Amino acid sequence: MRSIAAYAAPALPAAVVVGFFVWFANWIPQTRWQAPQKLAISEAMTPAELGALGATLVRQRGCLTCHTIEPGAGVKGGGRGPNLADVASRRARGAEGAPGNLVEYLVQSLYEPGAYLVEGFANIMPPSTAAPAKLGYEEVVAVVNYLQSLGGRSSVKIGDIARPSGAAAAPAPVTAAASDPKALFDSLGCAGCHSLEAGKNVLGPSLDAAALAKAAAARKMSLEALVLEAIVDPKAYEAKEFPAGVMPQDYGAKLTGAQLRSLVEYLAGRKS
């Protein structure tokens, strides 16, 4: 007589398969549909644990839209920002004209990227405490530990580094006069992500007036309305072919009305 196990055995894989789909069905909504959760960071975490969280933050908060991590590719790499592989060994003693030790150098790179510019690169990196990365203090500590681990060892505990000063955290004031929209375009960093030449896409789409007019027509909007919306509320519409959430979200709060109008008129009125 056959044992019960002989009948049950063929059913086992089926149970495993069903179990897998039950698990999978539960798993999908969590990974797919939940808004990115704030990572729980506690003061008890070791620098290595913080560094592991930092690796996730660097991926989630848009750093890799500009930076690459390519071992052996030198500072330049293939990105719009420096290659971050080995940044810790490269900057073990900071840089001339910047803090002379690694941790302070990295902290300054995050809080005030424009204070020291890596040779050969433009001033396009937004402060990491501002949009789009919006790192909180503990998250900055995590990211610094991660950057240290690229060519060195993580060593920073929460409390070891300075909190961002209110001034550094607040969006930088716009200095260019409203009457000079091209200067605004450059000083606001638009030029770092957008070309004004037809067909030339950088991180964001070309802002050639004809292309903008086409986009506006497709969305049944006036050209000015499209440009205004894109600057003040970039999330309102995001073109599929470009990375979402990359364009800074705080121009609306930063620009005076006159500056905004001048930029809109400039972009909408350029002859290509």
The site for ligand HEC (CB under 6 A) is made up of 58, 61-63, 65-67, 75, 80-82, 87, 91, 106, 109-110, 113, 116-118, 121-125, 128, 133, 135, 143, 147, 188-190, 192-194, 203-205, 207, 212, 215, 227, 230-231, 234, 237-239, 242-243, 246-248, 251, 263
Q: b vs e for 230-252, b when ≥16 Cβ sit within 10 Å of the residue's Cβ?
A: bbbebeeeeeeeeeebbbbbbbe
- Least CB distance from residue 60 to ligand HEC, whole Å? 10
Question: Which is closer to ligand HEC, CB of 41 or CB of 143?
Answer: 143
Report how far residue 196's alpha carbon sits from residue 201's, in angstroms, rounded to the nearest whole number: 9
Question: Which is closer to ligand HEC, CB of 12 or CB of 210?
Answer: 210
Question: Which is closer to ligand HEC, CB of 5 or CB of 126?
Answer: 126
134 to each of 78, 82, 131, 172, 181, how far by Cα in Å? 25, 20, 5, 14, 27
Give residue 144's identity as a one-letter amino acid code.
V
- Least CB distance from residue 128 to ligand HEC, whole Å? 4
Q: Characterise 74 by phi-psi region: left (phi > 0), alpha (psi -120 to 50), beta (else).
A: left
- Least CB distance from residue 32 to ligand HEC, whole Å? 21
Question: Which is closer to ligand HEC, CB of 62 or CB of 99?
Answer: 62
- Least CB distance from residue 216 to ligand HEC, whole Å? 8
200 to each of 19, 191, 216, how far by Cα in Å? 50, 12, 18
Report how far residue 19's alpha carbon sits from residue 75's, in angstroms, rounded to the nearest whole number: 48
- Least CB distance from residue 36 to ligand HEC, whole Å? 14
